Amino acid sequence: RVQLVESGGGSVQTGGSLTLSCAASGLSDSLYYCMGWFRQAPGKERLGVALTETDGGATYYRGSVKARFTISYDHAKNNLYLQMNNLEPEDTAMYYCAVVPGSCSNGYWGIFQLRAENVWGQGTQVTVSS
């Protein structure tokens, strides 16, 4: 079965950088997937941050992070990354990695609820202080 384990979270000051990693296991070599990063701040709903397709397809970003974050996938290691630059206090949240089979449906965040085969990691905390 598919499992995801996030790492790389931490505490930084405004303007700092972090790189999150998500180690995926159990993915099929004959399928392609949509993998993504989501975040949830205390008392708020979980929001999509960035998506990518594992076959080298398109990437998608939430507007507030598009100029600062970069999502990437390493096929050889089955690792998903999120490079975060110029971090802001508003980026403080628990960050989750998630995966579903198939395309990212032109960046529709809802596929991670609609597709039954969705898998989520346990999350990694990012805290940005001013």
What are the pLDDT digits (tens) for 86-102? 999 999 999 999 999 99
**50 and 65 Cβ atoms separated by less than 8 Å:** yes
pLDDT, one tens digit for every residue, the chain (130 residues)? 999 999 999 999 999 999 999 999 999 989 999 999 999 999 999 999 999 999 887 899 999 999 999 999 999 999 999 999 999 999 999 999 999 999 998 889 999 988 889 999 999 999 999 9
What is the reported pLDDT for 107? 87
Burial class (CB in 10 A: 0-12, 13-18, 19+), 1: exposed
Q: Is the dihedral of CA 92, 19, 96, 111 positive or negative?
A: positive
The Cα–Cα gap between 93 and 84 comes to: 13
The length of the chain, given as a count of residues: 130
What is the reported pLDDT for 29? 87
